[in-house]
Amino acid sequence: RHFLLRASSRYGREAPAVTPETLRELASRSWPGNVRELRNAAHRWVLTGGLDRAASEAPGGAAGRGLAEQVESFERGLIARELAAQKGSVKATYEALGLPRKTLYEKMRRLGLDRHDFLGGEEG
């Protein structure tokens, strides 16, 4: 939030709202450049008006990363967003994504995603 406020002040734009889902998505991302990369992502977010767009389209967002790393980052974000939307229900998530149950579990394990981090009520 700190970087978003600084970027919005610098560019004379309103700071975007940061939802719990957005915070989870940010936490699920790999940040090889640590603070500098996070700061730059915040600036791109303010300028482009969207977190996903800023991360995938802005210069430097994907540059220098191999295809496998970009695909892994995309998969992690997609699955994390769907788990959050489905309040941690694995069944609803694999159905929404059109994946076999076993495939979703394998991807979650490989990507370090735990359904318990997304629970919002009923378990599935």
Range of the domain at 38: 1-65
More confident residue, 41 or 92: 92
Q: Whose CA is closest to 65, among 31, 111, 97?
A: 31
pLDDT of 48 reads 67
> pTM of the predicted model, to two decimals?
0.49
Looking at the predicted structure, is the pLDDT value of residue 124 above 70?
A: no
Within 10 angstroms of residue 59's Cβ, the number of other Cβ atoms is 8
In a shared domain, residues 48 and 91: no
In a shared domain, residues 92 and 60: no
In a shared domain, residues 90 and 53: no
> What's the pLDDT tens digit per position in 4-58?
888 787 767 787 777 888 778 777 777 666 777 777 777 777 766 666 544 444 4
Residue % of the chain over a pLDDT of 70: 77
User: Tokens 């008006």 sit at which residue?
Assistant: 49
In a shared domain, residues 72 and 61: no
- 46 — phi, psi (to 5°)? -65, -40
In a shared domain, residues 93 and 47: no
Q: Which of 28, 46, 65 is the last residue of a domain?
A: 65
Tell me the two tokens of residue 48: 């482009």
In a shared domain, residues 55 and 96: no
Tell me the two tokens of residue 47: 């300028």
Domains in the chain: how many in total?
2
In a shared domain, residues 94 and 114: yes
In a shared domain, residues 1 and 58: yes
pLDDT of 32 reads 66
In a shared domain, residues 2 and 31: yes
- Could you tell me the maximum CA-CA distance found in the chain, to the nearest angstrom? 48
In a shared domain, residues 59 and 71: no
Contact status, residue 63 vs residue 57, Cβ threshold 8 Å: no
Within 10 angstroms of residue 49's Cβ, the number of other Cβ atoms is 12
In a shared domain, residues 78 and 54: no
In a shared domain, residues 18 and 59: yes
